[in-house]
Amino acid sequence: MIHPFVSGNKFRKLKYNLKEAQKTGAQTLLTFGGAYSNHIAATAAAAKENGLHSIGVVRGEELQCRWHDNPTLQFAVRQGMQLHFVTRHAYRTKTRPQFLAELENRFGPFYHIPEGGSNTLAVKGCEEILTDADAVFDVICCCTGTGTTFAGIVNSAKTTQRLIGFPALKGDFLREDIRKFANNGDWELQTDFHFGGYAKVDEALIHFINDFKRKTDIPLDAVYTGKMFYGIMRLIEDDFFPENTKILAIHTGGLQGIAGMNALLKKKGLPQIDI
């Protein structure tokens, strides 16, 4: 709800990066993402709004001739983003200085925003998500990809609040990444609700998302927020939280990804997310 296109936590992660880019006189933002990346869509919209040029380096060379079918990439191009498709192999080298230097040779100088918008300035922006009014909550729940947003929450929460991250990915690297950005170790992860890994879904999750929307009028995406809310409801059913616990669940956005997810679900013959 924070912005029509720069959705949820991506707005927070971009805020100080945009300021820094303008301070350094950059005219171009360059960033990285997958085919359905919320961050690619958000960066494209934010760049346009701030009068900056934007380049999206996209994982998957095969998308070169298929991006017209992809709602996220289509949106990015409409915002004026220039897309550059690279192989999965090249994409893996995206943090290497040599790869970045090659991109600079090709496109000229740019302000580099890492994949997912995740850096120290992004954490700073995410430290502004909680307000004084949120001090009444006992538990704060947040979905995590790179963990940058969660680190911002950890840094700005009250010491009495219990902080629970819900990883949307499988794997243990996340704890280390959160530790890099968080100023204390008083937090936990619920690792049972990733549904097999990043962007993996099953029918139960889609049904949950549709049911949740019918009951609450709150739309959820299948990559991040749907998995977190599924997890929270399961934990409540299992009496994980003491009675009368006040839980704050942070909806991090991501709704632009529903159209792309629905196209994939349709192809697989699975039920789709109601919109």
Residue 8 binds to ligand PLP (criterion: CB under 6 A): yes
At its nearest, how many Å lie between ligand PLP and the CB of residue 71? 15
Instruction: Find, among 190, 176, 180, 118, the residue nearest to 155 by Cα.
Output: 180
- Choose between 54 and 144: whose C-beta lies nearer to ligand PLP: 144
Q: Which residue is listed with tokens 């669940």?
A: 249
Residue 224 binds to ligand PLP (criterion: CB under 6 A): yes
Record the tokens describing residue 166, joined without a space: 């819900």
State which of residues 70, 161, 252, 262 lies at the interface with ligand PLP (CB under 6 A): 252
* Helix, strand and coil in the chain, % to nearest 5: 45, 15, 40
At its nearest, how many Å lie between ligand PLP and the CB of residue 168? 7
Of 22-30, 84-92, 208-216, 248-256, the window that binds ligand PLP (rule: CB under 6 A) is 248-256
At its nearest, how many Å lie between ligand PLP and the CB of residue 162? 18
Residues 121 to 180 in contact with ligand PLP, rule: CB under 6 A: 143-150
**Distance from C-alpha of 37 to C-alpha of 47, rounded to nearest angstrom:** 16
At its nearest, how many Å lie between ligand PLP and the CB of residue 32? 13
- Choose between 27 and 213: whose C-beta lies nearer to ligand PLP: 213
Record the tokens describing residue 185, joined without a space: 């170790």
User: 32 pairs with which residues across the strands?
Assistant: 57
Q: Is-contact 28 110, C-beta < 8 A?
A: yes
| CB-CB neighbours of 245 under 10 Å | 12
| Number of residues located near ligand PLP, criterion CB under 6 A | 21
Residue 34 binds to ligand PLP (criterion: CB under 6 A): no
**What is the three-class DSSP state of 166?**
strand
Q: Is-contact 260 36, C-beta < 8 A?
A: yes
- Residues of this chain that interact with ligand PLP (CB under 6 A) are 8-10, 38-39, 116, 118, 143-150, 221, 224-225, 252-254
